[in-house]
Amino acid sequence: MSQPAASASPPAVADVGRLLVRCPDRPGIVAAVSGLLHAHGANIAQSDQYSTSLEGGTFLMRVVFHLEELGARRPALEAELAEVADRYAMRWTLHDAAVPKRAAILVSREDHCLMDLLWRHRRGELDLDVRLVASNHPDLGEDVGAFGLPFHHVPVTPGTKPQAEERLLELLAGEVDVVILARYMQILSGDLLTRLGVPVINIHHSFLPAFVGANPYARARDRGVKLVGATAHYVTEELDAGPIIEQDVARVSHRDDVPALVAVGRDIERTVLARAVAWHAADRVIVHDGTTVVL
């Protein structure tokens, strides 16, 4: 099963920029962007592009480049990018690979996805600046503290959901660039998502679009599935309907009861979430028309 390379991005080093481009497809875009980077003294290390259609499609491009003194040269580079963008009706973002995205992780009681992310982060495998962990249960506070990270218990009950979301916003709004739901089992309101204003990545414990919502493994067992899976997706107000970033599956059989399905699923969930988070951290995921392109 082919999939984007586990990590095609060069190591995050000084003076490495990542440029993401989106515009109506037409001839000359690659030449215009590469020519601009060359004119500013940049050396392109990686370039990936995709057009949604050869006729009237949208052109998506990700360029990783090295430019000495990137910080000092960035204003002039961005000024000329703005001019090229006008010519090609281009939307673009430029990221400094030396500045990891600030992240918060939300969790409930299941620890496998959270711990996997924290272990990878501690080993330096996850290019993120993990700022805090928050949970609607106190269970994992000690485990998080062992990683030297702040842990915030934000209890949620049906009658206190608005107040809990206000507390989450106090902790997160303006403080992080991405929020990761590592089996966080509370539905986030559209108001919270809007006020957060940053991408939220969720791991759903089924191969979406099958078994949206709660208790997917029990429903999968009742259905007699021969595969179970996990799906990492961006979070939207509609439950488990956001753009899919990564998925994977494993074979199961009639011999597997629900606990066995849950056990098989745990390994899939944590590896799928880790891959999705790593790709997001490396600016490899572009959302287009409710789906994603992973360059």
Ligand X SMILES: Nc1nc2c(c(=O)[nH]1)N[C@@H](CN(C=O)c1ccc(C(=O)N[C@@H](CCC(=O)O)C(=O)O)cc1)CN2
Active site members? 240
Distances (CA, A) of 190 to 54, 195, 197, 236: 35, 9, 11, 7
Smallest gap, in angstroms, from Cβ of residue 240 to ligand X? 4
Which secondary structure element, helix H or strand E, spans residue 93, and what is its range? strand 91-96
Q: What is the token pair recorded at 246?
A: 């990564």
Smallest gap, in angstroms, from Cβ of residue 167 to ligand X? 16
Which of 53, 157 has the CB closer to ligand X? 157
Which position has the token pair 């969720």? 202
- The contact set with ligand X (CB under 6 A) reads 181, 184-188, 202, 204, 213-214, 235, 237, 239-240, 242
Please state whether the peptide bond connecting residue 259 to the residue before it is cis, i.e. omega within 30 degrees of 0. no
Handedness of CA 154, 165, 113, 228 (dihedral sign): positive
Which of 92, 184 has the CB closer to ligand X? 184
Residue 50 near residue 60 (C-beta atoms within 8 A):
yes
Distance of alpha carbon 293 from alpha carbon 295, whole angstroms: 6
Smallest gap, in angstroms, from Cβ of residue 150 to ligand X? 21
Which of 235, 293 has the CB closer to ligand X? 235
Residue 136 near residue 105 (C-beta atoms within 8 A):
no
Which of 36, 185 has the CB closer to ligand X? 185
Smallest gap, in angstroms, from Cβ of residue 212 to ligand X? 8
Which of 115, 239 has the CB closer to ligand X? 239
Smallest gap, in angstroms, from Cβ of residue 139 to ligand X? 13
Q: What are phi and psi for residue 215, nearest 5 degrees?
A: 50, 50
285-292 contacts at long range (C-beta below 8 A, 24 or more positions apart):
285/245, 286/20, 286/22, 286/60, 286/62, 287/234, 287/243, 288/22, 288/52, 288/58, 288/60, 289/52, 290/243, 291/243, 291/244, 292/234, 292/243, 292/244, 292/245
